[in-house]
Amino acid sequence: MIFPGAVWYTCSVHCLPSDLESSVKETITMSRSTTHTLTCPCGEVFTNTTYEYVNVAHDPQLRYIVLAGLLNVSTCPACGRRAALACPFIYSDPDHNLLAYVHPRSDAPEEARMMILEKLRSVYVDAVSIQEYQKNGNGGHTVSITPLEAKEMPPLQIVFGLDQLNALINATLSPEERLGRLALSTNSRNEAERGQFLDIARKLAAEMDCNVEVEDLPDEYTVWLYGSRRQIGALMRELAPGG
């Protein structure tokens, strides 16, 4: 996959509802992802993880990566260019009774929307009796859903665009569970000092189960820490004088 020459841009990854059927049919406990090899205009070749199935009960930090708009976004390690990989995915939050198929384009044509809706409706309705054989490197395995498991599945919602998904997620969260951010910045241009600064920020983030995103500019180096407002609030209290 070759990136177009821009600082922020979107790439499409071929991924149709049929590719995601097992995410609706299976009772998966772990999130599922694929590794892609990307080539940046600067010449850097690197790998990036694209999620097809997000289960925040198992990977709670992914909720805030989604809310921050950073799921399926790659960053070139050499020049910092970013690419949003336009791949549909399933978002599952059993604790908040939320299951959604997410198409990344809010401007998807009506004909494409109807095709997606019909395909996913048939997949979801047939989930009670389905047995799916998946091929993998070790052969395969059979996955089945019992009537009880199917009954406990939340209703499948289909959304177009990440703004619509974020609205759905925020509607299920308490104010303390919603996205919070904290910016730590330095004006140093010294690479070693910036590296130390990032190491300290990562340690702080790890202590509070927060995520880290770097904004690297010539005159300012900013590390964004983000997670729940509860986590960010606790981090701010720890950093406060006398905290």
pLDDT at 235 over 50: yes
Q: How confident is the model at residue 4 (pLDDT cuts 50, 70, 90)?
A: very low
pLDDT at 83 over 90: no
With CA atoms as reference, report the closest residue to 19 among 70, 56, 53: 53
How far is residue 83's CA from residue 4's CA, in Å, rounded to a whole number?
9
pLDDT score at 121: 63
How far is residue 205's CA from residue 53's CA, in Å, rounded to a whole number?
24
**Which CATH class name applies to 177-239?**
alpha beta
pLDDT at 119 over 80: no
Across the chain, mean pLDDT equals: 78
Residue 170: phi and psi, rounded to 5, are -60, -30
| Of the listed ranges 26-40, 84-98, 142-156, the one predicted with least confidence | 142-156
Of residues 71 and 20, the one with the higher pLDDT is: 71
Taking the domains of the chain in order of start, what are their residue ranges? 8-173, 177-239
Which distant-in-sequence residues (6+ apart) come within 8 Å of 83 by Cβ?
A: 3, 8, 9, 10, 11, 38, 73, 74
What is the pTM assigned to this prediction? 0.76
Which residue matches tokens 């995410």?
A: 23
Q: How confident is the model at residue 147 (pLDDT cuts 50, 70, 90)?
A: low
Average pLDDT over residues 25-31: 61
Q: How confident is the model at residue 151 (pLDDT cuts 50, 70, 90)?
A: low
pLDDT score at 120: 66
Average pLDDT over residues 35-63: 92
How far is residue 78's CA from residue 188's CA, in Å, rounded to a whole number?
19
